[in-house]
Amino acid sequence: MNTPRPSEIAPLKEFQVSRRSFVRRVATIAALSGLPTWFVEQQLEGAEPPAPTTSPNDRPGVALIGCGGQGKYDAANASNHGDIVAVCDVDDSHAAAAAEKFTVDGKVPAKYSDFRKLLERKDVHCVVNATPDHWHSLVNIAAARAGKDIYSEKPLTLTIDEGRHVIRAVRDNKTVLQTGTQQRSSVRFRLACELVRNGRIGGIREVNVWLPAGLREGPFKTEATPAGLNWDFWQGQTPSVAYVPQRCHVYFRYWYEYSGGTMTDWGAHHNDIAYWAIGLIAPRHIEATPLSKPIEGGYTTFAEYAVRYTYENGIRLNIHTTTDDNIYGERVKTPGQRNGIRFEGEKGWIWVNRSEITASDPDLLRVAPGSHFPRLPVSNDHWVNFFDSVRSRKDPICDVETGHRSATMCHLGAIALRTGKPLVWDYNSEEFVGTYSREPNAYRSRPMRAPYDYSFVG
């Protein structure tokens, strides 16, 4: 889900241009993308020469694990750089659909229902992990131990504690992991973060993030498990329950057992950008207010909520999923503004989402900065960045530590919502401290139902 619009990255495909048409191309790209002229010019001048065309022998073998809609979308992107040689899903119909989609010249990808068997293949060099959230960590750990490079959907983990296990597996086995928080490869988000980091809006005071509200529905009735779906395997580490269609596939993200609602879904994208712009590892204080309660027998994550993070330097990060203009006793500056990020500083604000970047004063974007302007790491295409890292063995833009810290941001908010207490976070020890630390510390990990615990992957 949450796939990037083509307009986010399409302008960058134009960056390799002749000097003769340079000025005209700068103006055209700026007009089409809404990016400032100076930034487009900077991108063009700094663009690397086109990489040589990949030979057939230089195309890694790619396996897709998790063959739902997002998985097939991810694998289609991966197929521009490698060959899809195997697919895996515990739902036979999903695996069959993926195998058919990625059949090329009569070569049908092998189908699996157990990812561990797939990882034994010598012709699999990279794995696309598009499983539901509660399977991300075990699949990533198994892939890393098998020596496979990984493109993993976000959030990287189901719990904070899982992040340590994933980092250890990736680093110990010297594999490459790219987290699918693809907004770091969007020029708009990078531009916004660079401007904020460099004081274009003055000292940053707060960041406001708007996320889509989740689903609040139920109660749901149990049904017979569909033929071809291994429901026990799908549930994995989570408590075993009777099959309910609204638990499986697309809707898993609205169940706390498998995900964290929109806080860990869209939040994994926007909170990652806020974290990138603020430049600090994690907040110190977290408080949260559910604005609606789950319906008994229905989805178990909070659909509407307000979360506030406060950093040690006083910067506040506020998460909104509602048009309510009176949150924490304060008036929201832009009621109804949804699905995007607004950086507030002493000299103005910058608003950015996947389709636009605007500012309180157009000159905040239009006027070019000085030569001292420091830059953030550059990736103009998340998949190119991943496969470049596979070849160079250098870390990608969203490496395993970045994915863990971004996921942790989301988990902190989800934990604060469940406890209803003001929390204090020590990011060095990765534990809650202070008065209300016992309950939230228990939420850093979850019991894992046998046999789907860490021993399941070796």
Read out DSSP for 347-381? TEEEEE-SS-EEESSTHHHHSPP-TT-------S-
Given this model, what pLDDT does residue 410 score?
Answer: 97
CB atoms within 10 A of CB 285: 16
The per-residue pLDDT for 9 is 39
Q: Give the global pTM.
A: 0.90
Q: Mean pLDDT in the chain?
A: 90
Neighbours of 456 (CB within 10 A): 15
* Confidence tier at 369 by pLDDT (50, 70, 90): confident
177-186, 228-237, 361-370: which has the minimum mean pLDDT?
361-370
Q: What is the pLDDT of residues 109-135, one digit of tens each?
A: 999 999 999 999 999 999 999 999 999
CA–CA gap between residue 438 and residue 424 (Å, rounded): 11
Per-residue pLDDT of 287-330, as tens digits, reads: 999 999 999 999 999 999 999 999 999 999 999 986 544 444 44
Residues in the chain: 458
Q: How far apart are CA 91 and CA 86, in angstroms?
A: 15
The pLDDT value given to residue 19 = 52
What is the distance between the alpha carbons of residues 10 and 135, in angstroms, rounded to a whole number? 32
Q: What is the pLDDT of residue 40?
A: 75
Give the confidence band of 333 by pLDDT, cuts at 50, 70, 90.
very low
Query: Structural domains in the chain?
Result: 6-46 (no CATH), 187-375+405-457 (3.30.360.10)
The conformation of residue 455, written as its DSSP 8-state character, comes to G
pLDDT band for position 10 (50/70/90)? very low
pLDDT bracket for residue 34 (50, 70, 90): confident
Alpha carbon distance 163, 412 (integer Å): 13
SS3 content of the chain, % helix, strand, coil (to 5): 40, 15, 45
